[in-house]
Amino acid sequence: MATVVIPAREKSSRLPNKLLIEVNGKPIIKWTVENCLNVKNIDRVIVATDSERIKEALKNLDIDIFITPENIKSGSDRIAYVLKYIEDEDIINVQGDEPLVNVEDIENLANVLKNEDITTLAYPIDKEEDFKNPNIVKVVLDKDNYALYFSRSPIPFPRDISFNEIKKSIKVYKHIGIYGYKKEILYKFSYELEPSPIEEVEKLEQLRFLYNGYKIKVVEAKEETVGIDTEEDLRKFKLLLNQGKF
């Protein structure tokens, strides 16, 4: 079995205090947590947060909440801070701003993690505007579905062909920021591995794994999700709710 840990930092730069923004009378972080409580093959759900306000917003749910220091740099580091309270070897990292992630996709990720050190989700990109959008992280895979590279730039870059021609020969993937790790690997990531130059340039912490030779197994998601980083993302989330997504 696995433990889902949701890192939930109150402050955010592009969309201030986004996890506490209420949509249909419920803060975004609560949408995410309640979704994770529907995952079948996990032992428990933990929220690791620096915010008493977030803790208060989740007080009636059947979860464990740990208050972590505010100055922790990343979601993975925030999860690593609470590893001593976790008995399971398999850890699933669901970002607090991912309320739309498909429950079955989390379950599949947990199943694949049984035989891998690190796993993550990706979904095929269909629109060229998404392929070119730097706010959408792309991932390129090898023949065995391990990540070759993650980037905010369009990859693979279409030097001589159009985006539509690329899609005829390969799938172009959007990375979904849901991860699975073995406990010891996450500990090494946060406490032993130095931030890599490529992650500092791209501002993508998962590149630290690739830089240090770790393999990341990529699982194709059944459904697209919307990570809420901007006002545009928030509008998409509200639209999907109105369309009966939940």
Cross-strand bridge partners of residue 143? none
Mean pLDDT (the chain) is 94
Residue 174: strand pairing partners: 123, 138
Mean pLDDT of the 163-182 span: 93
Determine the Cα–Cα distance for residues 130 and 224; give it in Å rounded to an integer: 12
Instruction: Determine the average pLDDT of the residues in 223-231.
Output: 88
When pLDDT is cut at 50, 70 and 90, the band that residue 139 belongs to is very high
Structure tokens at 165: 């021609």
Q: Please, what are the domains in the chain? A: 2-237 (3.90.550.10)
pLDDT in tens, 79-125: 999 999 999 999 999 999 999 899 999 999 999 999 999 999 999 99
Asked if pLDDT for residue 245 goes beyond 70, the answer is no
Contacts of 110 (CB under 8 A, 6+ apart): 2, 39, 41, 42, 90, 92, 180
8 Å CB contact between 107 and 41: yes
- Which pLDDT does position 121 carry in this prediction? 98
pTM of the predicted protein model = 0.92
Q: How confident is the model at residue 225 (pLDDT cuts 50, 70, 90)?
A: confident
End-to-end alpha carbon distance in the chain: 26
Q: What is the mean pLDDT of residues 188-217?
A: 96
Q: Find out whether 65 and 49 touch, Cβ atoms under 8 Å.
A: yes
Q: Are 162 and 177 in contact (CB under 8 A)?
A: no
**Per-residue b or e along 66-75, where b marks 16 or more CB atoms closer than 10 Å to that residue's CB:** bebeeebebb
Mean pLDDT, residues 233-237: 92
Q: What are 51-65's pLDDT values in tens digits?
A: 999 999 999 999 999
